[in-house]
Each structure stands twice: as structure tokens, then as C-alpha cells.
Amino acid sequence: MTDTRGPQAPDEAEAKPDAGTEKPAQPYQPPQAYAAPTGPGAPRGGGAAATTQRKPRTPVRTAPRTRKARLRVAKADPWSVMKVSFLLSIALGICTIVAAAVLWMVMDAMGVFSTVGGTISEATGSNEGNGFDLQSFMSLPRVLVFTSVIAVIDVVLATALATLGAFIYNLSAGFVGGVELTLAEDE
């Protein structure tokens, strides 16, 4: 059988009990991973507590290294561009409708439609008629329908233009190589 414990100290390897010689029993001392510190910063007093203390490690300062990668966008997939532009233009259309409704409510609460409507009514009125009624023309349902039509047209046009832009980019990237990007890792 082989000993797999590695090299041993000479007193452990050759320590065979002799029948006639007795050694005084000493407490077990585990092997130390680091040698006892010496010099001006070493602990004083010598005992077992002094040999178990070690100096704290000082952190090593190195210059930060930023990794960089140069990438080239050689092709934009028109199908994925169409899907992304469709979703973004739907979100923009919803935001447009909500913003128009909020703006109308704020302007109505401030009395803008009644004031401007009265002025337009006086300017366009004649002896027989009252003139143009801005408040009935600019009602909230009518404004929301008009805004919704504009939002739907925007969704269709933005999706079509983005997809066409992807086709044009792929054609031009075939000639000039595409757009080059340099990406750096942030610390």
C-alpha cells in the first residue's frame, strides 16, 4: 500500500515507538499555512497566539481594462423590422389617442372652446344665423374619431416605410459593407 499523504516531516515518518524510550506528550500543533511574520510589524510576545496571526493582504490595484468589440450590421431582416415597427407604431398610435383626449379635456375645462367658439360665432354670424358653432364641431367623440383615423394611417405608413427602409439598407449594405459599431464593456 502506498502513502498518498505527500512528504512528511522527518520526526513523523521515522517516529516508531521504542520500547525503552519515552517522550513527553506534547499538544498537537496543526501545520501552518503561512510562516510566522517577522520584522517590524510582527506581533510581540512569541507564544502560540503570535504564530497564528498573519498580515492582511493588500489589494493589488490594476489599471481597468475595457473590452471592445467592433461589429458590423451587414443585414437587417425585413420581417423582424416589420414586426418591431408594427408594434412600435401601434404604441405610438395609442399614445396619440390618449394625448388627444387629455388635451381636449384640459382645454374644455379651461373654457377655451367656449371663448374661441363665441368669438368665431360673432365673426361669422349674420342677422339671420348664429354663425359657425365651434363647440359642436370640436366635440370629444368627433376629435377621438379623427385622431383614431390618423393613428391607423400612421400605423400602416410607419410599418410600410420601416420595412422598405430595411430592404434599402440591405441593398446599400451589399455595396458598402453596412454600419460598423464599436461596443465597449461598461464597468
With cut-offs at 50, 70 and 90, classify the pLDDT of residue 43: low
pLDDT, average across residues 18-44: 67
What Rg value do the Cα atoms of the chain yield, rounded?
43
Spatial separation of the C-alpha atoms in residues 36 and 41, rounded to whole Å: 11
pTM confidence score: 0.55
Query: What percent of the chain stands above pLDDT 90?
Result: 34
Spatial separation of the C-alpha atoms in residues 130 and 125, rounded to whole Å: 5
Let me know: does 169 contact 80? Beta carbons within 8 Å. Answer: no
CA neighbours closer than 13 Å in the CB half-sphere of residue 152 = 5
Spatial separation of the C-alpha atoms in residues 141 and 104, rounded to whole Å: 10
Most confident of 46-60, 69-83, 133-147: 69-83
Residue 6 vs residue 92, higher pLDDT: 92
Let me know: does 78 contact 169? Beta carbons within 8 Å. Answer: no
**For residue 149, pLDDT beyond 70:** yes
Q: Read off the pLDDT of residues 66-116 as tens digits, 9 standing for 90 and up.
A: 888 888 988 999 999 999 999 999 999 999 999 999 999 998 899 887 788
136 dihedral zone (left: phi>0; alpha: psi -120 to 50; beta): alpha
Residue 118 vs residue 106, higher pLDDT: 106
At residue 47, the pLDDT reads: 53
